[in-house]
A and B are shown apart, each in its own frame.
Chain A
Amino acid sequence: MSLQELAASNDWLSIAPEIFLGCLALALLGLELLLPKKDHGIIPFAAILGQVGLLLAMLAGFHHAADAPATRAFGGLIQHDRNGEMFRVFFLLTSVLVSVLGVIALAKQRMPRTEFFAIVAVVTAAMMLLAQSNHFALFFVALETVTVGFYILVSYTRTNPLSLEAGLKYLIMGALSSGLLLFGIVLLYGVAGNPALPAHSGEAMNFGELRNFLAANPDNFIAAAGIVFVLAGVAFKIGAVPFQIWVPDVYQGAPTPVTAFLAVGSKAAGFAVLLILVQIFAPYQQLVTAVLAAMAAATILFGNLAALTQDNVKRLIGLSGVAHAGYLLLGVLAALHGQDGATGAVIFYLLGYLLASFAVFGVMTHLAGADDADQQLDHYAGLGKTHPFLATVLAIGLGSLAGIPPLAGFMGKLLVFMAAFKARLYWLLAVAIVGVVISIYYYFGWIRAAFFEEPRDDGRRPARTPVGLVAGVVLALLAGASVLLGFYQGGLGEIIGLR
Chain B
Amino acid sequence: MNFLSDHLLLLSVVAPLLAGLAVAFAPKAAAKPIALAGFGLPLLLALHAWRYFPANAGAGYAFLHSYNTGLTGMGIALKLGLNGLALPLYVMAAVVGLAAGLYAMQSAAERMQGYLALLLVMHAGLMGVFASVDVFFLYFFHELALIPTFIMVGVWGGRERRYAAMKMTVYLTLGAMLSLLGLIAIYAKSGANSFDLITLRDALAAKPLDGAWQHRIFGLLLFGLGTLVSLWPLHTWAPLGYGAAPSSAAMLHAGVLKKFGLYGLLQVALPLLPAGAHDWVKPLAWLAVVGNVLVIGLVTVAQRDLKQMVGFSSVMHMGYAFLGVACLAAAPATGGGQMAAGGVVLMMVAHGLSVALLFLLSTSIWQRTRTFDLGEMGGLAQKAPVLAAFFVAATFASIGLPGFANFWGELVIFVAAWKFSPLLTALAVAGVVISAVYGLRAAANVFFGQPTEAFAAVAAANPPADLRWAEKIPALLLLVALLGLGFWPKALSEPLNAAVTALYPVPAAAAAQK
Q: Which residues of A approach B to under 8 Å, CB–CB?
A: 341, 384, 399, 404-406, 410, 414, 417-418, 421-422, 429, 433, 436-437, 440-441, 444-445, 448, 451-452, 487-494, 498-499
Taking a contact as CB atoms under 8 Å apart, the answer to whether B73 and A493 are in contact is yes
Which residues of the partner chain A approach B184 to less than 8 Å between Cβ atoms? Answer: 414, 417-418, 421
Taking a contact as CB atoms under 8 Å apart, the answer to whether B177 and A451 are in contact is no
- Tell yes or no: B50 within 8 A of A by CB: no
Supply 19 A–B pairs (Cβ within 8 Å), ascending by A.
Answer: A404-B173, A405-B139, A421-B184, A433-B177, A437-B174, A440-B169, A440-B173, A444-B165, A451-B151, A452-B155, A487-B69, A487-B78, A489-B71, A491-B70, A493-B72, A493-B74, A494-B70, A494-B73, A498-B74
- Contact indicator per residue, chain B 60-83, by CB within 8 Å of chain A (1) or not (0): 000000000111111000100000
Which residues of the partner chain A approach B180 to less than 8 Å between Cβ atoms? Answer: 414, 417
Which residues of the partner chain B approach A488 to less than 8 Å between Cβ atoms? Answer: 69-70
Taking a contact as CB atoms under 8 Å apart, the answer to whether B169 and A492 are in contact is no
Taking a contact as CB atoms under 8 Å apart, the answer to whether B73 and A405 are in contact is no
Taking a contact as CB atoms under 8 Å apart, the answer to whether A444 and B73 are in contact is no
Taking a contact as CB atoms under 8 Å apart, the answer to whether A433 and B178 are in contact is yes
Which residues of the partner chain A approach B174 to less than 8 Å between Cβ atoms? Answer: 437
Selected contact of A433 from candidates B72, B139, B162, B181, CB within 8 Å: B181
Taking a contact as CB atoms under 8 Å apart, the answer to whether B154 and A451 are in contact is yes
Complexed CA–CA distance, A398 and B392 (Å): 45
Taking a contact as CB atoms under 8 Å apart, the answer to whether A417 and B188 are in contact is no
Taking a contact as CB atoms under 8 Å apart, the answer to whether B185 and A421 are in contact is yes
A352 vs chain B, min Cβ distance (A) = 14
Which residues of the partner chain B approach A417 to less than 8 Å between Cβ atoms? Answer: 180-181, 184
B407 vs chain A, min Cβ distance (A) = 37
User: Among A341, A422, A429, A433, which residue has the most Cβ atoms of chain B within 10 A?
Assistant: A433
B222 vs chain A, min Cβ distance (A) = 16
Q: Are A448 and B166 CB-contacts (below 8 A) given A436-B177, A491-B70?
A: yes
Which residues of the partner chain B approach A433 to less than 8 Å between Cβ atoms? Answer: 177-178, 181
Taking a contact as CB atoms under 8 Å apart, the answer to whether A499 and B74 are in contact is yes
Taking a contact as CB atoms under 8 Å apart, the answer to whether A490 and B70 are in contact is yes
Complexed CA–CA distance, A489 and B170 (Å): 28
- Tell yes or no: B426 within 8 A of A by CB: no
Q: Are A499 and B162 CB-contacts (below 8 A) given A405-B143, A444-B169?
A: no
Q: Are A452 and B178 CB-contacts (below 8 A) given A404-B147, A417-B184, A437-B170?
A: no
Which residues of the partner chain A approach B74 to less than 8 Å between Cβ atoms? Answer: 341, 493, 498-499
Complexed CA–CA distance, A436 and B180 (Å): 12
Complexed CA–CA distance, A273 and B169 (Å): 36
B23 vs chain A, min Cβ distance (A) = 14
Which residues of the partner chain B approach A452 to less than 8 Å between Cβ atoms? Answer: 154-155, 161-162, 165
B144 nearest in chain A by CB position: A406
Complexed CA–CA distance, A489 and B72 (Å): 10
Complexed CA–CA distance, A399 and B173 (Å): 12
B440 vs chain A, min Cβ distance (A) = 37
* Count, A-B residue pairs, CB within 8 A: 89
Which residues of the partner chain A approach B162 to less than 8 Å between Cβ atoms? Answer: 448, 452
- Tell yes or no: B130 within 8 A of A by CB: no
Complexed CA–CA distance, A451 and B398 (Å): 36
Complexed CA–CA distance, A448 and B144 (Å): 19
Taking a contact as CB atoms under 8 Å apart, the answer to whether B188 and A418 are in contact is yes
- Within 127-162 of B, Cβ neighbours of A (below 8 Å) are at 136-137, 139-140, 143-144, 147, 150-151, 154-155, 161-162
A205 vs chain B, min Cβ distance (A) = 37
- Tell yes or no: B260 within 8 A of A by CB: no
Complexed CA–CA distance, A421 and B193 (Å): 12
Which residues of the partner chain A approach B69 to less than 8 Å between Cβ atoms? Answer: 487-490, 493
Which residues of the partner chain B approach A441 to less than 8 Å between Cβ atoms? Answer: 166, 170
Which residues of the partner chain A approach B143 to less than 8 Å between Cβ atoms? Answer: 404-406, 410
* Additional 5 contacts, C-beta under 8 A, given A452-B161, A493-B73: A414-B184, A418-B188, A437-B177, A489-B70, A498-B74
Which residues of the partner chain A approach B151 to less than 8 Å between Cβ atoms? Answer: 451
Complexed CA–CA distance, A488 and B71 (Å): 8
B165 vs chain A, min Cβ distance (A) = 7
A13 vs chain B, min Cβ distance (A) = 32
Which residues of the partner chain A approach B136 to less than 8 Å between Cβ atoms? Answer: 414
A406 nearest in chain B by CB position: B144
Which residues of the partner chain A approach B155 to less than 8 Å between Cβ atoms? Answer: 384, 451-452
- Tell yes or no: B438 within 8 A of A by CB: no
Selected contact of B173 from candidates A421, A437, A493, CB within 8 Å: A437
Number of chain B residues whose Cβ lies closer than 8 Å to a Cβ of chain A: 34
B245 vs chain A, min Cβ distance (A) = 14
A-B pairs with lowest CB-CB distance, top 10: A499-B73, A489-B70, A493-B70, A405-B143, A490-B70, A452-B154, A493-B71, A440-B173, A433-B177, A488-B69
B173 nearest in chain A by CB position: A440
User: Among A399, A436, A493, which residue has the most Cβ atoms of chain B within 10 A?
Assistant: A493
A485 nearest in chain B by CB position: B70
- Tell yes or no: B187 within 8 A of A by CB: yes
A300 vs chain B, min Cβ distance (A) = 13
Complexed CA–CA distance, A451 and B180 (Å): 28
Which residues of the partner chain A approach B139 to less than 8 Å between Cβ atoms? Answer: 405
Taking a contact as CB atoms under 8 Å apart, the answer to whether A498 and B73 are in contact is yes
Taking a contact as CB atoms under 8 Å apart, the answer to whether A406 and B140 are in contact is yes
B162 vs chain A, min Cβ distance (A) = 5
- Within 171-205 of B, Cβ neighbours of A (below 8 Å) are at 173-174, 177-178, 180-181, 184-185, 187-188
Complexed CA–CA distance, A418 and B195 (Å): 12
Which residues of the partner chain B approach A499 to less than 8 Å between Cβ atoms? Answer: 72-74
Complexed CA–CA distance, A6 and B177 (Å): 53
Which residues of the partner chain A approach B188 to less than 8 Å between Cβ atoms? Answer: 418, 421-422
Which residues of the partner chain A approach B72 to less than 8 Å between Cβ atoms? Answer: 493, 499
A422 nearest in chain B by CB position: B188
Which residues of the partner chain A approach B147 to less than 8 Å between Cβ atoms? Answer: 399, 404-405
Complexed CA–CA distance, A237 and B143 (Å): 34
Taking a contact as CB atoms under 8 Å apart, the answer to whether A405 and B140 are in contact is yes
Complexed CA–CA distance, A210 and B393 (Å): 79
Selected contact of A498 from candidates B71, B78, B166, B177, CB within 8 Å: B71
- Contact indicator per residue, chain B 422-435, by CB within 8 Å of chain A (1) or not (0): 00000000000000
Which residues of the partner chain B approach A437 to less than 8 Å between Cβ atoms? Answer: 170, 173-174, 177
Complexed CA–CA distance, A494 and B147 (Å): 29
Selected contact of B154 from candidates A404, A440, A448, A493, CB within 8 Å: A448
Selected contact of A405 from candidates B144, B154, B187, CB within 8 Å: B144
Which residues of the partner chain A approach B144 to less than 8 Å between Cβ atoms? Answer: 405-406
Which residues of the partner chain B approach A414 to less than 8 Å between Cβ atoms? Answer: 136, 180, 184
Which residues of the partner chain B approach A451 to less than 8 Å between Cβ atoms? Answer: 151, 154-155
Q: Are A429 and B181 CB-contacts (below 8 A) given A405-B143, A452-B162?
A: yes
Complexed CA–CA distance, A489 and B69 (Å): 6
A67 vs chain B, min Cβ distance (A) = 16
A441 nearest in chain B by CB position: B170
- Contact indicator per residue, chain B 447-458, by CB within 8 Å of chain A (1) or not (0): 000000000000
B166 nearest in chain A by CB position: A444
B257 vs chain A, min Cβ distance (A) = 14
Taking a contact as CB atoms under 8 Å apart, the answer to whether A418 and B178 are in contact is no
Complexed CA–CA distance, A420 and B169 (Å): 25
A353 vs chain B, min Cβ distance (A) = 19
A417 vs chain B, min Cβ distance (A) = 6
Which residues of the partner chain B approach A406 to less than 8 Å between Cβ atoms? Answer: 140, 143-144
Complexed CA–CA distance, A433 and B162 (Å): 24
Complexed CA–CA distance, A421 and B154 (Å): 35
Complexed CA–CA distance, A498 and B69 (Å): 13
Which residues of the partner chain A approach B71 to less than 8 Å between Cβ atoms? Answer: 489, 493, 498
B121 nearest in chain A by CB position: A406
A487 vs chain B, min Cβ distance (A) = 6
Complexed CA–CA distance, A99 and B437 (Å): 67
- Contact indicator per residue, chain B 22-63, by CB within 8 Å of chain A (1) or not (0): 000000000000000000000000000000000000000000
Taking a contact as CB atoms under 8 Å apart, the answer to whether A440 and B178 are in contact is no
- Contact indicator per residue, chain B 203-217, by CB within 8 Å of chain A (1) or not (0): 000000000000000
B90 vs chain A, min Cβ distance (A) = 20
Q: Are A436 and B173 CB-contacts (below 8 A) given A404-B147, A418-B187?
A: yes
